[in-house]
Amino acid sequence: MIPFTRPTIGDEEVAAVARVLRSVWITTGPKVAELEVALADYLGGGVGVRLFNSGTSALEAALLAHDIGPGDEVIVPAMSFVATANVVVRVGARPVFVDVDLVSRNLAVEAVAAAVTPSTKAVIPVHFAGRAVEMAPIHALAERHGLLVLEDAAQAIGTEYQGRRIGSSGNPVCFSFHPNKNITTIEGGALACSDPAVLKRVERIRFHGIERDDEGLISVSEWGGKMNLPDVGAALGLVQLPRLVDFNQRRRELALRYLEKLPRHPALVLPEDVPGHSWHMFCVCLDAESIGMSRGQVIDWFRQRGVGLGIHYPAMHLFPLYRRYGYREGDFPNAERIGAQTLTLPLFPTLTDEEQQQVCNLFHELLEEGGRG
């Protein structure tokens, strides 16, 4: 079975984790500190980095560190992994959804501008599947309205925008290192930011709100969670990070081959390549009904032929949690079409050309030769 994703773990990663397990310190410690410095150097822009046990925790901590809470509104795209909106609910604020572009799956400044109210305090652009949001107009809008720009770059480690790596801008940017991401720390995430006060505060928030004085005595001045990353995960990340450029180059090669070899068909909407894309995922929209199938039948058809497909993602505003805020079908047509038709194709550095060709051949068979037969 060819899966839609697979982490790239080799002997060096295994050995690094084993060394930590054999040491006297396996939770948050020197490896976390080392990876924070390495990530800051990689991103550039003079930012600092703080590691978390997930990208979700990093997003939550960033909102808390900027005092986002009850009575506040935060603008988010209706198409993302649900964590993007869940963290807004978690801190007591209200998520305000906006639609996305059908091909890029990213929000645009026009949608954000239309959603701004006196209660709006922040916007969370999501760099979907590794494609950068057009950030310059977002920043200009945010400056006019005094909004926090918190970038959800869970899928965008290594993505570039206008020649700079996402995460180097100085405003808070959050990454994920889940096993399906371009590099992994098993579970894990990071926040990059240039504001020392914010970095200090998220340090407290990620570990019970604790601060220590010179004698090692603790004090707690605000709520904090248990969001720290263990050294075991950081050790894995320290091996993965130097390989990221090569990983992303292979992803790009595979994505360009998909764009070349997949069929052009009215039922199929393909993504597009842009400069700086890190190609975390290769997601298409397939109008299965137009070829006499359901999406579930298509997925099963591929599975029977040895290929696993993913679904990234359902439209968030249609989940029961967010319907309670008054959202309904028809509110965001592009997000809803993506949610109903999306399929994620296999894409990971160790996917072979032959395996990828098998995927492409099956799409030709399905769309051009009547795959149901």
Run of H or E residues at 285: strand 282-286
Amino acid, single-letter form, for residue 87? V
Who contacts 317 (Cβ-Cβ below 8 Å, separation ≥6)? 78, 97, 323, 327, 331, 332, 335
Run of H or E residues at 40: helix 30-43
Rounded to 5 degrees, what are φ and ψ at 204? Answer: -70, -45
Q: Cis peptide before 313, with omega less than 30 degrees from 0?
A: yes
Question: Three-state DSSP class for 368?
Answer: helix
Who contacts 161 (Cβ-Cβ below 8 Å, separation ≥6)? 132, 133, 135, 276
Question: Three-state DSSP class for 173?
Answer: strand
Closest CA to 342 of 67, 80, 108: 80
* 200 part of the active site: no
- Rounded to whole angstroms, the maximal C-alpha distance in the chain is 74
Would you say 335 and 100 are in contact if contact means Cβ atoms under 8 Å apart?
yes
Closest CA to 167 of 243, 55, 251: 55
Which string of b and e fits 317-329 if b means at least 16 CB within 10 Å? Answer: bbeeebeeeebee
Catalytic residue among 181, 200, 226, 261: 181
Q: Which residues are catalytic?
A: 181
